[in-house]
Structure 1
Amino acid sequence: MIEPICRLARDAGTAIMRVYDGDRPLELTHKTDDSPLTAADLAAHKVIEAGLRSLTPDIPILSEEDTPGWDIRRGWTRYWLVDPLDGTKEFLRHNGEFTVNIALIEKGQPVMGVVYAPATDILYAADAGKAWKMTSDGTRMDIHCKDARPPLVVVSRSHGNDSELQDYLLQLGEHQTVTMGSSLKFCLVAEGSAQLYPRFGPTSVWDTAAGHAVAAAAGAQVNDWTGQTLDYHPRESFLNPGFRVSLF
């Protein structure tokens, strides 16, 4: 099933780029939590929702742009977890660091994931314990985490100045840092370009599931700060605890 999911992520990316390139109006609004919402978010959601319902009508969908109530979700053991446009702030900044995220959750864990970056036409995918990257010229390569000294630490472009993060980096020892938006941070660790992604700021389950699948399949650990693997069993809150993605 991974190939049609990859195509679906690309189709959603095409819808996003029509807005990004100015072919469709932006239609910027804000949600109740003051996070931005654009026509690109909604267009990508519609593409993915329609595609998943056609491919797997028996598997429910939880999308950032359509969140069924707790009474509906509480019994789910298998579901799609989707962020149609992860990194809307980066989209608005026009820096290309935004993605389409689609993950399949089974018994609380992401067993399949696709992260597609439409602006660069680079796709990361994971299925059956393997992770790979598709470049813009169609080249497919398996990816694996790689150790390096000093490690390269990737941090959120929007939360890079958080005090908890800065304290952590001070205690880390010798390292280098790079900033990145969206779930591409998971993918940098997965492909070996970075060795550590620590996160203290807020994230939601749809922000992390697809990247989690890719990083884990490439050999990374995705654990909260108590050492427990990030969990996606249905719960009332969509918020994740703080976590780190690393080889160690």
Structure 2
Amino acid sequence: MSSGLGPDGLNNDAIAEIFAELAVAAGVVVMDIYGTDSHVHAKPDQSPVCDADIAAEKIILAGLAARLPHLPVVAEEAAASGAKLPEADMFILVDPLDGTREFLAHNGEFTVNLGLIIAGEPKAGVVYAPALQQIWIAGSHAYAVTVAPGAALPARDQRRLIHTREAPADGLVALASRSHADPQTEAYLARLPIKARQPAGSSLKFCRIAEAAADVYPRFGPTMEWDTAAGDAVLRAAGGLVFDDTGGPLRYGKFARNYRNGPFVAWGDRHASAQAKAGVKSA
């Protein structure tokens, strides 16, 4: 898998490393706010936003401006505030606190997400769960490693290379959103040989599949590209895929739709996904 070249001659692995450093730095302010009154309020779409979303995004945007100044950035809270969204072939998607509901529920299942998009595909990404002190890093390959908020990233030889698994013969482990259940998801899963279901929050669902702990994650409810890009990058680098309701890979840079995704399914075993693709449109 090619690592590609980004701005200033940086390859996707080098960009992922920058993403990881910024996510771990943002994790400090996220955890500082975690045990306090987070001053939550509703955005125009009625989704929650709190102090941690805003503070983490400020840190990440400043870091990206300093280290990757030539790349346009689409960030969740800036978009919600009415910032002009760029239309570019190569750009960065930022979700400073994915799983705000999980953050407010104090269950630890929230993440800091950064993803690099090139020609509609996620080519590098980082998912950091500061409360769990776990980070998943994807460029040419996908890795997982333990790192505390604000700490230095462990050397690459100390990171665990991760890969998806073959679909188990005795049935699949399905992941479902902890906060967003819907009838279409239930109908879709009913068509598959599911032996167990596990709830999970935020982009952790992509990472669980990437590290061979689960097999499938369908999502029919609304999401934005910044919700999925980082986890999608990790999963694809680990050998999995995310497909949309056309049966093709989930695409990014949907400027005309304000970066809104349609239905998708994250899948670990590429060779066993044909049956899964067939049900997306009809679910």
TM-score, normalised with respect to structure 1: 0.93
Q: Give the Cα–Cα distance (whole angstroms) in 2 for the partners of residues 7 and 83 of structure 1.
A: 15
User: Which of residues 161, 167, 171 is equivalent to 1:142?
Assistant: 161
The 1:131–1:158 alpha-carbon spacing in structure 2 relative to 1, beyond 3 Å, is: same
State how far apart, in whole Å, the 1-side matches of 2:212 and 2:193 are.
20
The 5 A counterparts of 1:1-248 are 1=14, 2-22=16-36, 25-67=37-79, 68-69=83-84, 73-74=86-87, 76-128=88-140, 130-136=141-147, 139-147=158-166, 148=168, 149-160=170-181, 162-237=182-257, 238-246=259-267, 247=269, 248=273
Aligned to 2:276: none
Within 2, Cα distance between the matches of 1:217 and 1:52? 22
- Structure 2, unmatched stretches of 5+, are 1-13, 149-153, 274-283
Q: Give the 3-state SS of the residue equivalent to 2:212 in structure 1.
A: coil
Cα distance in structure 2, aligned partners of 1:8 and 1:178: 30
Superposed displacement of residue 34, structure 1 = 1.1
Would the aligned equivalents of 2:172 and 2:193 in 1 still touch at CA under 8 Å? no
The structure 1 segments of at least 4 consecutive aligned residues displaced by more than 3 Å after TM superposition are: 136-139
Query: Deviations along 1:2-29, whole A, 9 cap, x unmatched?
Result: 322211100111110010022xx41211
Distance 1:157 1:200 in 2: 14
Task: Measure the CA separation in 2 of the matches of 1:15 and 1:78.
Answer: 28
SS in structure 1 of the partner of residue 52 of structure 2: helix
Mark the runs of 5 or more structure 1 residues left unpaired by the alignment: none
SS at match of 1:214: helix
Taking the aligned partners of 1:5 and 1:240, their CA distance within structure 2 comes to 23
Q: d(CA) in 2 for partners of 1:105 and 1:125? A: 15
SS at match of 1:132: strand
Q: Give the Cα separation in 2 of the matches to 1:170 and 1:57.
A: 47
Helix, strand or coil: the match of 1:66?
helix
Q: Supply the RMSD in Å over aligned alpha carbons.
A: 1.4
Greater mean deviation of Cα atoms: 25-34 or 78-87: 25-34
Q: 1:4 to 1:173 in 2, by over 3 A?
A: closer
Q: Which piece of structure 1 moves more, 229-238 or 151-160?
A: 229-238
